[in-house]
A and B are shown apart, each in its own frame.
Chain A
Amino acid sequence: MNKSIRNLIFTWSIILLSIVLTIIPLPDLINSFRLPWLMMTVIYFSIFNVALIGVLSAWLSGLILDLMAGGLMGENAMILSIISYLSYRFRFQIRVYPIWQIMVVVLLFLSLGEVLSLWIQGVSGTMNLSVIAWINISIAVIIWPIFMGFIQKMESVFLE
Chain B
Amino acid sequence: MNEQRLALTRRAFLRESAFGLGTIALTSMGGSALARVARAGERPMPHLPPKVKRVIFLCMAGGPSQFESFDNKPELTRLEGQPMPDSFTKGQPIAQLQGEKLQCWGPQFPFKKWGESGQEISTLFPNIGGIADKICIVRSMHTDQINHDPAHTVMNTGTSISGRPSMGSWVVYGLGRESEDLPAFVVLTSKGGRNPQPIAQRQWSAGFLPSRYQGVQFFSQGDPVHYVRTPEDVSGDSQRRVVSTVRALDALRAQQVASGELETRIAQYEMAFRMQTSVPDLVDFSDEPQHVLDMYGTTGNDGTFAANCLLARRLAERGVRFIHLYHRGWDHHNDLAKFMTVCSGLTDQPSAALVRDLEQRGMLDETLIIWSGEFGRTPMVQTNKGGPGRDHHMRAFSLWLAGGGIRGGLTYGATDELGYNAVENPVHVHDLHATMLHQLGLDHERLTFRYRGRDFRLTDVAGEVLEDILV
Asked if chains A and B come from one complex, the reply is no
Q: Contact residues of A with B, CB < 8 Å?
A: none
Q: Contact residues of B with A, CB < 8 Å?
A: none
